[in-house]
Amino acid sequence: MHKELADYELMLKDAKFKVTKKRLRMIELFMEDERYLSAKEIQEMMNKEYPGISYDTIYRNLHTLKDINVLEQTTFSGEMQYKISCTDHHHHHFICESCGETRVVQYCPVQTWKNELDGVKINSHKVELYGLCEACR
């Protein structure tokens, strides 16, 4: 379950960033689409409402939103991709390599890894599974 737009607005304010129409619209785009999106895709979507918006503006805002945990990022198809952060519970993702559909995977293999890595302390981890969804197979 994702937060409401007002929650993200508060996150921006708490982090001392301006709450702008463009930033809020960018967040809305991610709220409307459950898959990972590239900076180029976001620029194309934003350009419909804000003609001439620069790639630099998109890129800076993506990093700002990632830094304050509004967005999470991954590398997919050779480029950075972003989606709305799912911080309400621990999980991993399956990502369709064709259409980009993203699904939550509840199982976490880290306990198995801890058993194999005697003496180490795991500080964090991220598991992403890649393949083809039913529609793309």
Q: Are residues 76 and 97 in the same domain?
A: no
Its pTM stands at 0.74
What pLDDT score was predicted for residue 127?
A: 81
63 is in an annotated binding site: no
Q: Is residue 137 part of a domain?
A: no
Mean pLDDT by 10 residues, the chain (137 residues): 81 94 95 90 96 95 94 86 79 85 81 83 82 93
Residues 122 and 69 grouped into a single domain: no
Does any domain span residue 26? yes
The Cα–Cα gap between 77 and 56 comes to: 21
Would you state the pLDDT for residue 2?
55
Is there a domain that residue 136 lies in?
no
Count of domains in the chain?
Answer: 2
Domain of residue 78 covers 5-84
Same domain, residue pair 12 and 70: yes
Which pLDDT score is estimated for 88?
64
Claim to verify: residue 108 and residue 77 sit in the same structural domain: no
Residues 71 and 24 in one domain: yes
Note whether 99 and 80 are same-domain residues. no
pLDDT of res. 1: 42
108 is in an annotated binding site: no
